[in-house]
Amino acid sequence: MLELLDLDATAPDRFEAITPAEGPPRLFGGQVAAQSLRATTLTVPDDRTVHSLHSYFIRPGRPGVPLELRVERIRDGRSFATRRVTAVQGDEAIFVLDASFHVHEDGHDWSEPLAPGVPGPDELPPRELFGRRPPWAPKDADGKAPRFRGPRAASLFELRPVNMGEDFSLHPAWVRLAEPIPDDPALHACALTYVSDMAVVRAAVAPDASPTWGGASLDHAVWFHRPLRVDEWLLFSASPLTNHGARGLARGSFHAADGTLVASFVQECLLRSTGMPPPP
């Protein structure tokens, strides 16, 4: 994760991010979002932390092609700062993100409590989300179902789904980085942004919808409510709100192990029937 977030400054407010040519034939959206947020954090004072981001996926990212991150300083106020970043490959924008930063202020501390009865991470076995052969997937020439290929850095996370079945639905699941990262709030916000895009398209599908669909993330928003550590267990949940036409909306959250809500997110997805089951 630290390697993915280690950006090269090429000019004032211009950065280049690595795009390893491994895994699926397109860049994982969460990786592009995390790298874009990291670029904005490098342009704000240390006393301001990100409290929200809103982003749009414009084109599929290409692995192995340099990713240029162009940051615009929209506003620097007394309490808030706003940044906009455009991720570019070649001459084409593939992603845009607006992020808002806030200085710490005292205020009332409350959040909706976590629903009771969710088993803790120590009560669940580790599970491999990617690399499995689902029994319902089409068979290849050797009579075997293809293995699902996940994003390159999925192996950097430990995943413990609460009740993952054969439909490859991940949520809810306990998640954490497999190795600790420095005590830097910006790095933890970027790492959470990375994982917040994982398996959300699958979670946006209505419960009564046909399983033969394909999808892609259209836009993604995250709200950071409290300080958090992504190298400690977080309960990662996402569920559908609505499906209409060829779009679906999912809403999700991250709770710390003590039940405190630390972040929320919403994603709209493109959902189209393809005649075959989706990857996770």
Per-residue buried b or exposed e for 55-69, using 16+ beta carbons within 10 Å of the residue's own CB: bebeeebbbeeebbb
How far, in Å, CA of 143 to CA of 145, rounded?
7
Say which of 36, 217, 253, 264 is annotated catalytic: 217
State the amino acid at position 278 in one-letter form. Answer: P
CB-based contacts of 36, cutoff 8 Å, min separation 6: 55, 69, 85, 87, 95, 97
Does the active-site annotation cover 197? yes
214: number of Cβ within 10 Å: 15
Does the active-site annotation cover 267? yes
Alpha helices for the chain (secondary structure H): 29-41, 185-195, 200-203
How far, in Å, CA of 257 to CA of 122, rounded?
11
Sign of the C-alpha dihedral computed for residues 225, 230, 235 and 238 taken in this order: positive
Does the active-site annotation cover 237? no
Is-contact 96 87, C-beta < 8 A? yes
How far, in Å, CA of 48 to CA of 40, rounded?
11
Token couple for 110: 């409350």
Say which of 35, 55, 100, 267 is annotated catalytic: 267
Say which of 197, 237, 253, 264 is annotated catalytic: 197
Q: Is 51 helix (H, G, I), strand (E, B) or coil?
A: strand
Reference 50, options 251, 184, 177; nearest CA is: 184
Residues tagged active-site: 197, 217, 267
